[in-house]
Amino acid sequence: MEVGSAFFYVEANIVCIIIFATLLIKDLGGVGRQTKQMIFVNIIISHILYFLSDIWWDLVLTGCIPAVFSIIAIFNIINAVLLSAITGFWFVYVELSQGEEYIKSLKARIIVLIPAMCETVIMLILFAFFPGVVVDGNLNLTTVYYVIFVGVPVMYVILSAVRSFIRAFRKENYAVRKQYVVCAVYPLFITVIGIIQTIGASLLGVSVPLFCFGCAVMMLYVYIISLNDQISIDELTRLNNRTQLKKYIVGEAAKPGNDVHFVLMIDLNKFKQINDQYGHVEGDHALRRAADALRYACSDNDMRPFIARYGGDEFIIIIRTDDEKPVKELCALIKSTLIRLNEESGAAYELTASIGYASYNGDIYAFQTALTKADEALYRDKKAAV
């Protein structure tokens, strides 16, 4: 590798380190960080450390640092460990982001990261006691090293991509399909450009910093998606929040024509009693169950309903149709689905909902009137349920 291209490689990694450091400072500046955000911080730090290690390894390849066995061993062990950490943490982040309950346990997260830990131990043992297996007589890395180097990361990449794609195309996840696809594409994209960089370096003798640039571009995009989620998605239920509801109403009003819409207001019955008797944690479970019921009930609906948490235990659904019949059918389906999911959960309480709806012509001001009418119909339904 020529010295000139080596310095370009180093400069590119430094630029990417600055980008990731900026994201890190921004994220550490937040308050009340949750487990998912802490894992995201770990991903950023792992990238920064990998780029630093890669800089030093590049200096070894160009002869700026002596290519002795101890130095080769140190940097290649570090690179392997950090690449496994990046992909392992990414898998955990994806599982948390997509609402998998099992991964919320610290024990489960440790178990998931065991392959990455095992790779670290194996690398240490090989370089310490069986150096000839990973480095040949000319101090070049062997095929065995590269197989171990990519083995665990590729496993995490495939798992996170496959699981994300499967979830993305479940009917109940149509509203968050874009976010799930991004989570699936990110590790695949990084893997492909990493392979292209490695092949290019092998054939041309020049290493172009595609990996660090690719990581930086994709991570910025993931970060933007994450910020958009914080702005538009209700953290508890993973439904649209009131901010996103307002954007949707404005967007519908801007469309040509005066298509008839129906707004549905859904309110959980005796929710305060659930909170008082079973605690707010169980109340949160009830809200998530209600959100799942709305998603399931709307998943096969050709009208692509817009679902949002309005506040507390109130939810709103907006559908575009001029026929009241499918609206009534949707209301009945929501109620039955909620009862079924609650029974399947084994909850010690009943969980039912009252629903009211009203039509409007897509105009913003007409929506406010319809919302009032739907609220009135909701309370008539609630009284009838008593």
* Complete edge-to-edge strand list for the sheet that includes strand 306-311: 306-311, 314-320, 261-268, 353-360
Tell me the pLDDT tens digit for each residue of 244-303. Answer: 888 888 888 877 766 788 999 999 999 999 999 999 889 999 999 999 999 888 887 777
What percentage of residues in the chain have a pLDDT greater than 90? 39
Averaged pLDDT score across all residues of the chain:
86
pLDDT of 362: 80
Q: Which of 253, 328, 266, 269 is nearest to 295 (CA)?
A: 266
pTM, to two decimals? 0.74
The two beta strands, 353-360 and 261-268, are antiparallel
Task: Give the pLDDT score at 91.
Answer: 93
Per CATH, the number for 3-232 is 1.20.1070.10
pLDDT at 263: 94
Per-residue pLDDT, averaged over 210-239, amounts to 82
Confidence at 203, pLDDT banded by 50, 70, 90: low
Q: To 5 degrees, how large is the angle CA 336–CA 341–CA 343?
A: 95
Of 202, 220, 307, 219, the residue nearest 265 (C-alpha): 307
Instruction: Give per-residue pLDDT as tens, 341-356.
Output: 999 989 899 999 999 9
pLDDT of residue 2: 53
Q: Is the dihedral of CA 278, 280, 285, 289 positive or negative?
A: positive
158: its two tokens = 């495939």
Q: Where are the chain's structural domains?
A: 3-232, 242-385
Question: What's the CATH code, domain 242-385?
Answer: 3.30.70.270
